[in-house]
Chain A
Amino acid sequence: MTELARFEAVVLPHLDAAYTLARYLTRSEHDAEDVVQDACLRALKYFDGFRGEEGTSARAWLLAIVRNTAFSARRRQRPDADVLEFDEAQHSGAVADEHPEAALLRSAAKESLGHALDRLAPEFREVIVLRELEGLSYKEISDVAGVPVGTVMSRLSRARARLQQALRGEEEG
């Protein structure tokens, strides 16, 4: 099998997954297509390093490249995003520490579920997409996002708390 054929056999089956992740990270059809194409070219460059051994999921490998491509494209477009340190507590919008009344007021804003997902910081949006849509394990998500499994666990929980709040708001509205 030529290298091209091998690459196509390993990578192309995961193009839908790659495009889905890119769509949710960029929130734009056009940007998502560019990210996926760039990511595939990057993947080709690293392909020698990927041997597809037992236990290495090609999907998680490609998604990690897509993820990094999307994040660096975002930094190019919005250089300030790089300067502002990402802060777990500040960006999560989690209600855990919030006064119940404040939480109630916020849910009164009646945000739809999809909208709430769009408004999550990308570090939280990606764990939801990787888990709920792509069905990745915590370990795979930790490889893709480049953070420890414990961080995956807490980000998922916080992101879900935020989405749950939006869902509750919808039901009450």
Chain B
Amino acid sequence: MTHPGFEAQLDAYLDGELATVDASELEVHLAQCPECARFRQERLELRAAIRARVPAFEAPAALRERVRAAVGAAVRGRAPRRFTAWGVWRPLAIAASLAVVAVGSWRLALQRTAGEALADDVLGSHIRSLMPGHLTDVLSSDQHTVKPWFNGKLDFSPPVYDFAGRGYPLIGGRLDYVDGRGVAALVYGRRQHLINVFLWPAARRAAAAPSTRTRQGYHLLHWATADYTYWAVSDLGLPELGEFAGLLRQADSAAGAPK
């Protein structure tokens, strides 16, 4: 392509893995060299294509059970029997899981329409926030500045954390409008990516485990605590967005959110 010696360095730069000195040198070069600038553009397109089309997988529930059983057996000092025990139970387990699917799916189908409309709403807000000048109303990496800023603007006081130490610095906050109500939007960063966290008081006080959706190259994570409904949206890879959501959930439970 161009400047062959540079390609690996450019890749490392785009991955945020280049030392600051080297990175600033490279930025100077990028500004002057149209070929390298085009290389960068193509790499960004490739990254988007990989994120959109090369899926991460979920471990099948049966595998999860198999692993737990094998590990449990090994810990108890018995030789792990890989397939024998499973062989007997398999037809029963499959029948049981089919029943769960059959019962679960119609219920899900009813909930889906509402959930998907909400996901569209959240994604729309995320994309709008990326347009110039829309990201934050209060720009601060200090959680003690961001949290009080919401006072009097919302009918709740959203929990705000900073995960700079874990590589997800707080960037700021803003007011947003989702699901027919004012909500808090908190903005976090991860390398060159942005994460929008939308939250508002939970309507049904029931915790829900995270569920994921992928649309237009963005990942959406939704979960609920007893107090708040959460949506996190980003173009970040799902594993990292999951890790981030894990940090938030951890911080929430550590803060012992009032019941």
Which residues in A have some Cβ–Cβ distance to B below 8 Å? 3-4, 7-8, 12-13, 15-20, 23, 33, 36-37, 40-41, 44, 59, 95-96, 113-114, 117, 128, 131-135, 137-138, 153-154, 156-157, 160-161, 163-164, 167
A161 touches B53 (CB 8 A): no
| B68 located at the interface, meaning its Cβ lies under 8 Å from any Cβ of chain A in the complex | yes
Closest CB-CB distance, A15 to chain B, in whole Å? 4
Closest CB-CB distance, A63 to chain B, in whole Å? 11
Residue of A nearest to B73 (CB): A41
A18 touches B239 (CB 8 A): no
Residues of A within 8 A of B246 (CB): 13
B80 touches A113 (CB 8 A): no
A20 touches B57 (CB 8 A): yes
CA distance A13 to B67 in the complex (A): 12
CA distance A156 to B56 in the complex (A): 18
B82 touches A37 (CB 8 A): yes
Contact among B46, B51, B72 for A4, CB-based, below 8 A = B72
A156 touches B11 (CB 8 A): yes
Residue of A nearest to B14 (CB): A160
B11 touches A167 (CB 8 A): no
* Max count, chain B CB within 10 A of own CB: residue among A4, A37, A96, A113: A37
Closest CB-CB distance, B54 to chain A, in whole Å? 6
A23 touches B57 (CB 8 A): yes
| B63 located at the interface, meaning its Cβ lies under 8 Å from any Cβ of chain A in the complex | yes
Residues of B within 8 A of A19 (CB): 57-60, 63
Contact among A44, A96, A132, A160 for B54, CB-based, below 8 A = A132
Instruction: Identify the stretch in B1-9, B129-137, B146-154, B181-189 within 8 Å (CB) of chain A at 4 or more residues.
Output: B1-9
Contact among A96, A134, A138, A156 for B239, CB-based, below 8 A = A134
Knowing that A20-B56, A135-B243 are A-B contacts, what are 14 other residue pairs whose CB atoms are under 8 Å apart, sorted by A's residue number? Answer: A7-B75, A13-B246, A16-B56, A17-B56, A17-B239, A19-B57, A40-B70, A40-B71, A59-B239, A114-B54, A117-B54, A132-B50, A132-B237, A157-B7
A41 touches B64 (CB 8 A): no
Cross-chain pair count, CB within 8 angstroms? 115
The interface residues of chain B, by DSSP majority, are classed as helix
6 A-B pairs with the lowest CB-CB distances in the bound complex, closest first: A19-B59, A157-B8, A135-B240, A15-B59, A157-B11, A135-B237
| B236 located at the interface, meaning its Cβ lies under 8 Å from any Cβ of chain A in the complex | yes
Contact among B12, B45, B64 for A12, CB-based, below 8 A = B64
Residues of B within 8 A of A163 (CB): 46, 50
Residues of B within 8 A of A13 (CB): 246
Closest CB-CB distance, B152 to chain A, in whole Å? 38
* In the complex, chain B residues 8-62 whose Cβ is within 8 Å of any chain A Cβ: 8-9, 11-12, 15, 17, 42-43, 45-47, 49-51, 53-54, 56-60
Closest CB-CB distance, B118 to chain A, in whole Å? 24
CA distance A151 to B17 in the complex (A): 14
Contact among B17, B51, B243 for A138, CB-based, below 8 A = B17
Residue of B nearest to A139 (CB): B17
**Contact (A137, B74) CB under 8 Å given A132-B51, A164-B42, A167-B45:** no
CA distance A36 to B42 in the complex (A): 35
